[in-house]
Amino acid sequence: MEFLAKIIKGERNKNKQFWKYTFIDIQTGKEDWFLNNYRIGYIPSLSGKLKLEWDKNGNYKLYQDFKQDEEFEEEEGIDWLEEELGKGTKKIDDKLARRPIKFKHQDLVEFVEGLKKSGVPYKEIATGLKRSDRMLRYWRKPIVKPLQKVGAKRRFDRKCLHYLLSSIHTKKAKTLREMSDYVFDKTDKRFCVATIYLVLKKIKYSYQVVPYRHPQQKQNLPEVIEFMERVNKLPPRQILSTDESGHPLNLASRRGWGLKGQKLLTLNPVMVPTIL
């Protein structure tokens, strides 16, 4: 079954074995919940197509897939990212507020000349400004070298931020260069790799290891929940657990971009038969 929904909250259940997510069905306006055995990555307050299925007994809704809208018209999903950018801007403003006031060269010369005309000697002016007489004479010299022009304003707006996140969530770009090319194709604005990296750093995205999961894990989730319910009823001393490990023979990305503090989960690549 599919829903047009928004996930509003996610928390662990009492046994801390599964994640319980609360969502709102946009068509009916009702709240509901579902279970999953790992944490889901999603953008808060951004709607999408949620795919669920019932367990064997019909008691729980189990997570299968959640694809959020990629249209730029719905901008609520990146408001929380702008808050992070605003926090960084506020810190910079606080640092600038604590710095001493700096005059431009022409204003500084006019200020010193005004004090001189009012009868204040250069030594007292130099003492008040904590500079030497020689520095005051240097300030009075005309500037021959042209002043540096002010650089262009930042062009990375909300639309660029949306397509940058879309390239990550839809896995259309894996490297910073591919992200830059994707944003350029959508907005006709070219950004260097350093700019893309700084934006991701400001919104707390990091390059982290991908813990892959088995491709049939979602299909076997009802059996897993049923098994966990039966195991919880057994005495702990009578439970013996075994484990096994392996690795795929085909290549897959070991790292990817995701929010700090959240695991970047994805399915294990399909095994490809290899002839040795």
Q: Residue 195, exposed/middle/buried by CB under 10 A (0-12, 13-18, 19+)?
A: middle
Residue 181: the pLDDT is 93
Question: Can you spell out the DSSP letters for 87-116?
Answer: HHHHHHHHHHHHSPP---HHHHHHHHHHHH
Band (pLDDT 50/70/90 cuts) for residue 76 is very low
- Percent of the chain whose predicted confidence (pLDDT) is above 70: 69
In angstroms, the Cα distances linking 90 to 41, 64, 83, 95, 99 are 28, 40, 10, 9, 15
For 99-108, what is each residue's pLDDT tens digit?
Answer: 555 666 677 7
- The Cβ of residue 55 has, within 10 Å, a number of other Cβ atoms equal to 17
CA 157 to chain centre: 15
Q: Which pLDDT does position 145 carry in this prediction?
A: 66
**pLDDT tens digits along 2-18:** 888 888 888 887 766 78
**Closest to 40 (Cα-Cα) out of 76, 3, 10:** 10
**Looking at residue 32, what is its pLDDT?**
87
pLDDT at 168 over 70: yes
Q: Are 50 and 3 in contact (CB under 8 A)?
A: yes
Render pLDDT for 191-235 as a digit per residue (tens, 0 to 9): 999 999 999 998 888 888 877 666 666 677 777 778 877 877 888
The mean pLDDT of the chain is: 75
pTM of the full predicted structure?
Answer: 0.41
**pLDDT top residue among 4 and 270:** 4
- Residue 153 has a pLDDT of 65
Closest CA to 225 of 54, 66, 1: 54
